[in-house]
């Protein structure tokens, strides 16, 4: 049976005023590579992407979002449809508590911006996950990579977590660790296109009920 895969990719943006926003350095390349590979391997893929400078893979259905709130809305709209969910997007953890309706002028030498947490989409998906769904998350860490990624796997009820460092964000190459409840596999200095193929194979051949 054809797998139904929901993939997210790219950053989100949280507005400060009509001109400025906060975001992160995610390029979306890994998420797009996974979506492309899943599509080429026969899955029906829906890709939800933040703002990136990438052309969409021809084999997927693409939805563009901007904010963490829009990402959450799009994800949960498709969540029950999916057999596989790959949360590769780098969703903003915080957003300004209020957005200025006008451009903040330079004359205001100091500005104070209060931030509030955005919804933890991956945590909520872990809570909602059906027994027959496979949930894949990403962990970008600057220290204790394996320890923190494994903790995320447990605490957010993931089946697989892809761990990488901040060095991979804007590069076409990456070092990653694929971690599940049985162990981990390290992959070094590979293109994101190739890693996308490997991750897609891992997902499509994954049996969460095997010992």
Q: What pLDDT score does 170 carry?
A: 65
| pLDDT, tens digit (0-9, with 9 covering 90-100), for 43-66 | 999 999 999 999 988 889 999 999
Q: What pLDDT score does 38 carry?
A: 97
CA distance 77 to 89: 16
CA distance 95 to 179: 30
**Architecture per CATH, 4-99+112-204:** 3-Layer(aba) Sandwich (3.40)
Name residues of the chain where pLDDT drops below 70.
108, 167-170, 208-211
Q: What pLDDT score does 168 carry?
A: 62
Q: What pLDDT score does 205 carry?
A: 92
Instruction: Point out the residues that are catalytic.
Output: 24
**Residues 118 and 95: beta-carbon distance below 8 Å:** yes
Q: What pLDDT score does 211 carry?
A: 43
- Let me know the angle formed at the C-alpha of 72 by 70 and 75, rounded to the nearest 5 degrees: 110
| pLDDT, tens digit (0-9, with 9 covering 90-100), for 168-179 | 666 788 889 999
State phi, psi for 60 to the nearest 5 degrees.
-125, 160
Helix, strand, coil in percent for the chain, rounding step 5? 30, 30, 40
Q: What pLDDT score does 209 carry?
A: 56
| pLDDT, tens digit (0-9, with 9 covering 90-100), for 3-17 | 999 999 999 999 999
Strand order in the sheet with 160-165: 60-64, 44-49, 4-9, 84-87, 134-141, 160-165, 173-180, 183-191
């Amino acid at each position: 049976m054809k797998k139904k895969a929901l993939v997210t990719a790219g950053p989100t943006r949280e507005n400060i005023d009509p001109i400025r926003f906060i975001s992160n350095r995610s390029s979306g390349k890994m998420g797009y590579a996974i979506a492309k590979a899943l599509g080429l391997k026969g899955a029906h893929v829906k890709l939800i992407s933040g703002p990136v400078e990438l052309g969409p893979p021809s084999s997927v259905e693409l939805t563009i979002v901007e904010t963490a709130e829009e990402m959450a809305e799009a994800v949960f709209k498709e969540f029950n449809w999916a057999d596989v969910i790959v949360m590769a997007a780098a969703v903003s953890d915080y957003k300004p508590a209020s957005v200025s309706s006008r451009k903040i002028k330079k004359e205001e030498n100091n500005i104070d911006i209060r931030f509030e947490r955005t919804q933890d989409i991956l945590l909520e998906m872990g809570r909602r996950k059906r027994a027959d769904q496979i949930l894949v998350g990403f962990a970008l860490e600057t220290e204790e990579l394996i320890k923190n990624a494994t903790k995320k796997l447990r605490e957010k009820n993931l089946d697989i977590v892809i761990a990488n460092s901040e060095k991979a964000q804007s590069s076409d190459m990456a070092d990653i660790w694929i971690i599940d409840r049985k162990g981990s596999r390290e992959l070094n200095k590979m293109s994101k296109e190739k890693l996308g193929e490997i991750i897609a194979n891992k997902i499509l051949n994954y049996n969460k009920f095997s010992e």
